Amino acid sequence: MTTWRLPLGILAASLLAASFWALATTALDPGALDPGQAWAQAIAWIITTQRELHQGLATALRAVQAEGSIAAPALVWLGFLYGVFHAAGPGHGKIVITTYLATQKESLGRGIALAATSSLLQGLTAITVVFTTVLILEQTTRQSQRLAGNIELVSFALVAALGAFLVLRHTRRLYQSKTTTPCSSCGHHHAPPPDKTGFLAAILSIGLRPCTGAILVLVLAIALDLRTAGIAAVIAMSAGTALTTSALATLATLARDQATRLASHLDTDQTRLARIADTIALIGGLALLAMGAALLHTTLTMPTHPLMRG
């Protein structure tokens, strides 16, 4: 019997991907052998580094205010590092990217494009939200935080919608493969065309959620009347985030490819392989649907932070 080996292979590959993810996101204490310990140290390190970078950004903005554009490269560089580190923690974007790419058939190039585009879009969303509320609507930055909260809900709803879309799509395909005559001898299974809708929904569901760090930088930049510098810092942040999430996307795509290759060695029945691939994709859709619903639920029921109300 070979049917049970395939899911096992996929499980192994997923575990591999998960541990790669843990390694990639926790960086970098090669001496520590205990993964729990390494994880704890890495989290503490990321938090400390993030605090230093955040304070560094405030200092760098003040330096630009005092010395002019000569201090701008330092600001942009700090923004980039902040983006790299900020992306190196758990977050909804990374989970969407990993889940989507580990369960859906996408090429490596499209996987990286998904990660990079959605990260850059996050920066653009933050810039649009803050500048629209403050400069066009002439509202306060606290209003922009509220607008960001509403957009966040849209982004979570999109995660759920993406999940529902994938569930429907792969359920239909599974149903069709059952009703058509199995054809294991003709040897060609038509690969489905690349899925534009899912791809775009994934980008939007991640990219529409503005990063709080970016909003705070823009607020301070506007307070100091340094709009251009603020935008430059946020774009650099997004580029840093894109770097980290692209690495993650690469791992997820490669893990899926590896699992698929492993599966085709274990089982040569193309129809069955396609069915199992659809089943995995269906489960990925279910997971995204559940996650989107859970994020929506927690966000709607979660009290606003006591110091961010008003």
Q: Which of residues 21-60 bind another protein (CB under 8 A)?
A: 21, 25, 34, 36-37, 39-40, 43-44, 46-47, 50-51, 54-55, 58
Q: With contacts defined by CB under 8 A, how many residues of the chain interact with another protein?
A: 72
Using rule CB under 8 A, residue 17 touches another protein = yes
Using rule CB under 8 A, residue 179 touches another protein = no
Using rule CB under 8 A, residue 192 touches another protein = no
From candidates 30, 109, 193, 303, binder to another protein by CB under 8 A: 303
User: CA of 81: how far to CAs of 130, 183, 283, in Å?
Assistant: 22, 53, 35
Residues 261-290 that bind another protein (CB under 8 A): 276, 279-280, 283-284, 287
* Pick 36 or 187: Cβ nearer another protein: 36
* Pick 34 or 136: Cβ nearer another protein: 34
From candidates 1, 33, 70, 307, binder to another protein by CB under 8 A: 307
CB 213 within 8 A of CB 237: yes
Among candidate residues 130, 145, 118, 62, the one with its CA nearest the CA of residue 239: 118
Q: How far is the CB of 60 from another protein (least distance, A)?
A: 11
Which DSSP string do the residues of the chain spell out, in sequence order?
--TTHHHHHHHHHHHHHHHHHHHHHH---TT---HHHHHHHHHHHHHHHHHHHHHHHHHHHHHHHHHGGGGHHHHHHHHHHHHHHHTTS--HHHHHHHHHHHHS---HHHHHHHHHHHHHHHHHHHHHHHHIIIIIS---HHHHHHHHHHHHHHHHHHHHHHHHHHHHHHHHHHHHHHHSPP-SSS---PPPPP-HHHHHHHHHHHHTS--HHHHHHHHHHHHTT-HHHHHHHHHHHHHHHHHHHHHHHHHHHHHHHHHHHHHHHH---HHHHHHHHHHHHHHHHHHHHHHHHHHHHHHHHSPPPTTS--
From candidates 3, 69, 228, 268, binder to another protein by CB under 8 A: 3
Which of these ranges, 74-82, 106-114, 172-180, 215-223, lies near another protein under the rule CB under 8 A? 215-223
Using rule CB under 8 A, residue 103 touches another protein = yes
Using rule CB under 8 A, residue 213 touches another protein = yes
Using rule CB under 8 A, residue 193 touches another protein = no
Q: How far is the CB of 301 from another protein (least distance, A)?
A: 7
Using rule CB under 8 A, residue 216 touches another protein = yes
* Pick 17 or 115: Cβ nearer another protein: 17
* Pick 17 or 114: Cβ nearer another protein: 17
Residues 224-243 that bind another protein (CB under 8 A): 224
CB 120 within 8 A of CB 246: no
Using rule CB under 8 A, residue 177 touches another protein = no
Which of these ranges, 92-100, 170-178, 182-190, 233-241, lies near another protein under the rule CB under 8 A? 92-100
* Pick 109 or 310: Cβ nearer another protein: 310
Q: How far is the CB of 260 from another protein (least distance, A)?
A: 14
130-169 mask for another protein (x: CB under 8 A)? ----x---x-xxx--x------------------------
